[in-house]
Amino acid sequence: MIEINFVTSNKNKVREFKEILGDKVFLNHIELEYPEMRSDDPSEITKVAAKQLAEKLQKTVICEDSGLFIKSLKGFPGTCSKYIHQRIGLQGILKLMERIKDRSCEYISAVGYCEPGKDPLAFVGSEKGALAKEIRGAHGFGHDPIFIPEGSKKTYGEDADVEKHKKFRRRAVEKLMEFLSR
Ligand code: ITT
């Protein structure tokens, strides 16, 4: 069985990774907050973090940087998603979008991977969608109650099986699995 050390402070991410990986993988959660560099590119952020964590812990690790990129706001909040979510929340984002017609957005997950002494890698998954006009549903976490994935009328917050259906994280984690099973 493959064993993976996942460094994250976010328990929701652990739950979703477990759902995607099923019983093929033992996911060892290392609960740790770590500093992230400033960049617009989630791959760059997660690679730098994975390298630092692998050297610090002397373990092969994965970590993840994810975020909501709103087209009409030129990609905001993007890699600042956590900070903005803590400061202005979902209502704050809806307010910023009040008179804006184009509500298209994208969710991106970049999974960083690094073995001690080696160069880091990143596996990226994304999913297009639209911002809801109001908060809908309480499933999932973070931006799920305002993100309507392409092809659906419901937000992820309205989907009781959101962990099974969320595509951006699944796409990134499946690329990681492909690499690990090579
Ligand atoms: P780490 O310790 O893994 O960094 P974090 O919560 O700080 O955990 P990020 O830096 O990737 O993670 O922050 C992204 C923010 O975007 C996060 O705080 C959530 O509010 C939101 N987010 C991440 N994944 C999400 C998802 O699947 N659905 C909705 N919102 C999500």
Contact between residue 81 and residue 66 where contact means Cβ atoms under 8 Å apart: yes
Residues involved in catalysis = 65
Other beta carbons less than 10 A from residue 38's beta carbon: 8
What gap in Å lies between CA 8 and CA 11, rounded to an integer?
8
Instruction: Please write the tens of the pLDDT for every residue from 61-104.
Output: 999 999 999 999 999 999 999 999 999 999 999 999 999 999 99
Q: Which distant-in-sequence residues (6+ apart) come within 8 Å of 175 by Cβ? A: 111, 123, 124, 125
Q: Which residue, 32, 178, 46, 52, is CA-closest to 109?
A: 46
Q: Which residue has the tokens 């009040």?
A: 98
Decide if 99 contacts 113 (C-beta within 8 A): no
Beta 104-114 vs 61-70: how paired, if at all?
antiparallel
Averaged confidence pLDDT in the chain: 97
Q: What count of other Cβ atoms lies within 10 Å of the Cβ of residue 143?
A: 24
Yes or no: say if 67 and 108 are a contact pair by the CB < 8 Å rule: yes
Read off the pLDDT of residues 13-48 as tens digits, 9 standing for 90 and up. 999 999 999 998 999 999 999 999 999 999 999 999
Q: Read off the pLDDT of each residue in 155-173 and give the average, rounded to a whole number.
A: 97
Question: Is 182's pLDDT higher than 90?
Answer: no
| pLDDT of 173 over the 90 cut | yes
Fold of 2-180: Maf protein (3.90.950)
Say how many Å lie between the CA of residue 40 and the centre of ligand 1. Answer: 15
Give the pLDDT mean for 151-176: 97
Token duo for residue 12: 């929701």
Asked if the model's pLDDT at residue 11 lies above 90, the reply is yes
pLDDT of residue 138: 97
* pLDDT at 1 > cutoff 90: no
> Mean pLDDT, to the nearest integer, of 130-153?
98
Pocket test for ligand 1, best of 38, 46, 76, 82 (most atoms within 8 A of CB): 82
pLDDT band at 51 (very low <50, low <70, confident <90, very high): very high
Query: For residue 47, with 0-12 CB atoms within 10 Å meaning exposed, 13-18 middle and 19 or more buried, which class applies?
Result: buried
**Whose Cα sits closest to atom 31 in ligand 1?**
142
Q: How far is the CA of 65 from the centre of ligand 1 (A)?
A: 7
Atom of ligand 1 nearest to the CA of 68: 16
Span from the CA of 67 to the centroid of ligand 1 (angstroms): 6
